[in-house]
Structure 1
Amino acid sequence: MPDSQPQPARSPDGDAATTPGDGVLVLCGARLADGRVVDVRLSGGRVEAVGTAGSLAPGPRVDLTGYVLLPAPAEPHAHCDTALTAGSGPLAFGAEDVQRRTTEAALLQLGHGATAVRSHVRVGDVQGLRSLEAVLQAGRALAGLTELSVVAVPRLLTGVAGADGAAMLRDAVEMGATVVGGCPDLDPDPTGYAETVLAIAAEHGCAVDLHTDGADPTRLARLAAMAGGLRPRVSVGPCGGLARLPHDQAVRAGQQLAAAGVTVICLPQGDCGVMGGGHGAWCAPVRLLRAAGVRVAAGSGALRDAANPVGRGDPLEAAFLLASHGELAPEQAYEAVSGRARAAMGLPEVRVEAGFPAELLAVRGGGIAGVLSLGYSRLVVHRGRVVARTSAVREYGDVQAEDRAAVALDLPRQSPRGGDPER
């Protein structure tokens, strides 16, 4: 069953469905998460009206019969500068190649439904600011299709080498990085590293997004207390080490994070490798953290690089893993990659209601649980325009064999041409 790469936008029936940013578009017959079947009119990049099916005035239309319409997800933890480098050599990190791979990765994530991506980008060392500039250039070229924001990630910020790192971090912000971050755990002075990041963030009015394993409760508590002064614009993650702590220690750590008001961005697919330990199987204990009052969002992390050679960059896969592992109910899991992720990134709230931004994802399926299980066919709306469409068709080699299988499995029969697996 082939699942296509993102294509020029078309309606589910194949007709062209692009509209200018200030144009009007009606999404017809979509099912909302609460089960209602509605028409949704988009105008000026926002949801203008939601009414019962067939009730809105005629205009350019997309038939979403059989699709669930949801607020679009966002990707709060990407690494575009290393994405798609699995098996590549040193030449893969030239500026032109970084820009090309960033563009490809962002479009891949857009095809899955993420209309905004936050990418961590390493600055300093051999690369200097070249990778950062390449990612920023890709973001400018993708304007109108997706929003790409950048977290500048220096290696060291203390000691003699740290002075250069701090200067480069300030330069990165001047160039266009809107978030400052890094990994305090890898600096000889983790507290000093975090202090520098927070000071530069306060100077420039930037958000903060720090990597930490979270396996050292004392260090995590200190980091949370320091970051509390900038809340709610501070995120930490992936905090997979919390899952390895004794339960009582993990609970206390969760309480300290909640008191600081920071957001934890977990990676259900495993650690992104920035902490130096490679791709691990641990995910932060989401249910425990939520019970402690911590805001938790979820991201995809590594995308086909040295840390994870098989990453998909699909927010729905992250939500599926949270639900299938029993950390969250399907609706909560989807919220972790949509509403919670958008809030962690400082993006406006999205609802399928009048007045909210038209950042939407339509997925063929019968509800959120079905969407997370078999969400192949998708249509993505960014700023009121259809910007990506992915369709999937399952065909069988023999109609008679298909009929026999349908009878044996008590499934609806399909036409000789086959059909969408989610119809």
Structure 2
Amino acid sequence: MPDSQPQPPSSSSPSGPAAMPPLLLCGARLTDGRTVDVRLSGGRIEAVGTAGSLTADGTRTGGTRVDLTGHLLLPAPAEPHAHPVTALSADTQGPVSYAPDAVQRRVTEAVLLQLGHGATAVRAHVRVGDVAGLGALTAVLEAARSLRGLAELTTVAMPRVLTGVAGAEARAVLRDAVKMGATVVGGCPDLDPDPTGYVEAVLEVAAEHGCPVDLHTDAADPARLARLAAMVGGLRPGVTLSPCAGLARVPADQAARTAERLAAAGVTVVCLPQGGCGTSDAGHRGSVPAGLLRAAGVRLAAGSGALRDVSNPVGRGDPLEAAYLLASGHGLSPGDAYAAVSSSARAALGLPEVRVEAGFPAELLAVRGDSLPGALSLAYSRVVVHRGRVVARTSAVREYRGSATAPEWGLPRQGRGGTT
């Protein structure tokens, strides 16, 4: 399955979507069954019309065309829960290196892999203080600059402890991280000797700087999760909790009551259907009961979590795999499952809504297939659009060989094979 990954643009590349010529996506299928042309300009969707009704340039010149015949066109996914600092390190002998060049290399490769899957926006959870200091964050911010124009990479600053003697220094580091460019504050209160004090410290820094909050918790303690939801409920900007997989290990009635409290608090829960999380010491796999949360009215998004690190050495970082697992194993409809990795994930990151309609941001994913269920089960060939231009392509060709009807390898013919 060939996969050609884009390279970060040089500093001399034109900046801003306005510099790009108009782009026409031709013959794409939408989830409502229509086949359309979609014209993109200035980083937004300029027009959507019946297939064959639009030109590439509109009233201008220099437009280009991309043939999407046989592809389903969707709002692009976003990745709300990535750990690119430790990504691609599963085979590392000894401790993972936090040297800035090593971190920047891993982060860049991880984001490009996820971009190839369709995620045009990634939220990176970055450890600050203790072992990593601020060096890892510096490397991630540098990677974000080098990836500008290909994908949007934002960061969550995550200290390990925030209470006690060590916590005083960590709180200063957290404030420095925000000043450096981290746009979200968070961490894993389960790892602090005083989880409540940890959350209070995070909320204090968030209030000082007007930052969103993203907290990790996996504890199988509904009371603790309910207290956490009560503490952060109503905070603006919003609060994200993840992965909350501990709810799967408690009796159903307790999980249901906790889900109701999460819904009342207005928090977003980011589940990880693939399992694995780069910040938890618990060693637990599995995922939150997504169907139960949705039934309770919880805002539910999904991420792909660890990408081939010690937490999940075979993690793919593929949002469509997360959607597939939600649909196949958690009872969500294909539409709701895809929304968890696209519209809900974008909302969790504070990004504008995307629809395949005029006026919306040109953040799009074309997947070979004619329906969403088919796309989720066989999502091999993909075309990714970020800020109105194609930034990644993945193509796959499937061939069949039979001794009687197809004695030679060659181009697939109808009934014998095809591109998927």
1:140 aligned residue: 145
Q: Distance in 1 between matches of 2:280 and 2:376?
A: 29
State the Cα distance separating 1:248 from its structure 2 match: 1.0
- The correspondence of residues 273-292 of structure 1 with structure 2, limited to 5 A, is 273-278=278-283, 280-292=284-296
- In 1, are the aligned partners of 2:6 and 2:112 still within 8 Å (CA)? no
Q: Is residue 126 of structure 1 aligned with residue 131 of structure 2? A: yes
Structure 1, unmatched stretches of 5+, are 10-18, 405-410
Q: Distance in 1 between matches of 2:379 and 2:396?
A: 9
Given the two structures, how large is their TM-score scaled by the length of structure 2? 0.92
Q: Distance in 1 between matches of 2:36 and 2:332?
A: 27
State the Cα distance separating 1:247 from its structure 2 match: 1.0
Q: Percent identity?
A: 69
State the Cα distance separating 1:394 from its structure 2 match: 1.8
**Secondary structure class of the residue paired with 2:39:** strand
State the Cα distance separating 1:22 from its structure 2 match: 3.9
Residue range with higher mean Cα deviation, 70-79 or 324-333:
324-333
1:13 aligned residue: none
Amino acid of the residue matched to residue 386 of structure 1?
Answer: V
Q: Distance in 1 between matches of 2:116 and 2:38?
A: 21
Cα separation, partners in 2 of 1:65 and 1:365, compared to 1, 3 Å: same
Which of 268, 272, 279 is the equivalent residue of 1:267? Answer: 272
Q: Is residue 202 of structure 1 aligned with residue 204 of structure 2? A: no
- In 2, are the aligned partners of 1:403 and 1:413 still within 8 Å (CA)? no
Residue range with higher mean Cα deviation, 237-246 or 87-96:
87-96
1:154-212: CA deviation from partner (whole Å, max 9, x where unpaired)? 00000000001101000100110000010011111100000000110111011100000
Q: Distance in 2 between matches of 1:225 and 1:65?
A: 49
- In 1, are the aligned partners of 2:206 and 2:212 still within 8 Å (CA)? yes
- The correspondence of residues 229-308 of structure 1 with structure 2, limited to 5 A, is 229-231=234-236, 233-278=238-283, 280-308=284-312
State the Cα distance separating 1:94 from its structure 2 match: 1.4
State the Cα distance separating 1:395 from its structure 2 match: 3.0
1:245-299: CA deviation from partner (whole Å, max 9, x where unpaired)? 1111111111111111000000001131422022x33211111111111000000
Amino acid of the residue matched to residue 28 of structure 2?
Answer: A
State the Cα distance separating 1:221 from its structure 2 match: 1.1
State the Cα distance separating 1:5 from its structure 2 match: 4.1
Q: Distance in 1 between matches of 2:82 and 2:19?
A: 27
**Secondary structure class of the residue paired with 2:54:** coil
Which of 46, 63, 69 is the equivalent residue of 1:48? Answer: 46
Q: Distance in 2 between matches of 1:214 and 1:352?
A: 39
- The correspondence of residues 125-204 of structure 1 with structure 2, limited to 5 A, is 125-204=130-209
- In 2, are the aligned partners of 1:285 and 1:327 still within 8 Å (CA)? no
Q: Distance in 1 between matches of 2:242 and 2:334?
A: 22
Q: Distance in 2 between matches of 1:275 and 1:402?
A: 52
Which of 329, 348, 364 is the equivalent residue of 1:360? Answer: 364
**Secondary structure class of the residue paired with 2:257:** helix
Q: Is residue 371 of structure 1 aligned with residue 370 of structure 2? A: no
**Secondary structure class of the residue paired with 2:40:** strand
Amino acid of the residue matched to residue 5 of structure 2?
Answer: P
Amino acid of the residue matched to residue 142 of structure 1?
Answer: L
State the Cα distance separating 1:214 from its structure 2 match: 4.2
Residue range with higher mean Cα deviation, 233-242 or 55-64:
55-64
1:329 aligned residue: 333
Q: Distance in 1 between matches of 2:344 and 2:237?
A: 12
1:17-56: CA deviation from partner (whole Å, max 9, x where unpaired)? xx97542111010000111000001010000110000111
Cα separation, partners in 2 of 1:91 and 1:253, compared to 1, 3 Å: closer
Q: Distance in 1 between matches of 2:88 and 2:304?
A: 14
- In 2, are the aligned partners of 1:267 and 1:301 still within 8 Å (CA)? yes
Amino acid of the residue matched to residue 318 of structure 2?
Answer: D
Q: Distance in 2 between matches of 1:283 and 1:331?
A: 19
State the Cα distance separating 1:372 from its structure 2 match: 0.5
Which of 86, 89, 97 is the equivalent residue of 1:92? Answer: 97
Amino acid of the residue matched to residue 99 of structure 1?
Answer: Q
State the Cα distance separating 1:92 from its structure 2 match: 3.3
1:57 aligned residue: 55
Q: Distance in 2 between matches of 1:126 and 1:338?
A: 34
Q: Distance in 2 between matches of 1:209 and 1:352?
A: 29
**Secondary structure class of the residue paired with 1:92:** coil
1:40-77: CA deviation from partner (whole Å, max 9, x where unpaired)? 01010000110000111243111100000000000000
- The correspondence of residues 99-110 of structure 1 with structure 2, limited to 5 A, is 99-110=104-115
- In 1, are the aligned partners of 2:119 and 2:319 still within 8 Å (CA)? yes
Q: Distance in 2 between matches of 1:232 and 1:291?
A: 24
- In 2, are the aligned partners of 1:21 and 1:383 still within 8 Å (CA)? no
1:14 aligned residue: none
Cα separation, partners in 2 of 1:21 and 1:227, compared to 1, 3 Å: farther
1:315 aligned residue: 319
**Secondary structure class of the residue paired with 2:132:** coil
1:350 aligned residue: 354
1:389 aligned residue: 393
Q: Distance in 1 between matches of 2:18 and 2:97?
A: 36
Given the two structures, how large is their TM-score scaled by the length of structure 1? 0.91
- In 2, are the aligned partners of 1:179 and 1:209 still within 8 Å (CA)? yes
Amino acid of the residue matched to residue 341 of structure 2?
Answer: V
Q: Distance in 2 between matches of 1:214 and 1:339?
A: 27
- In 1, are the aligned partners of 2:48 and 2:358 still within 8 Å (CA)? yes
- What is the alpha-carbon root mean square deviation over aligned residues? 1.9
Q: Distance in 1 between matches of 2:4 and 2:249?
A: 37
Q: Distance in 1 between matches of 2:132 and 2:379?
A: 38
1:6 aligned residue: 5
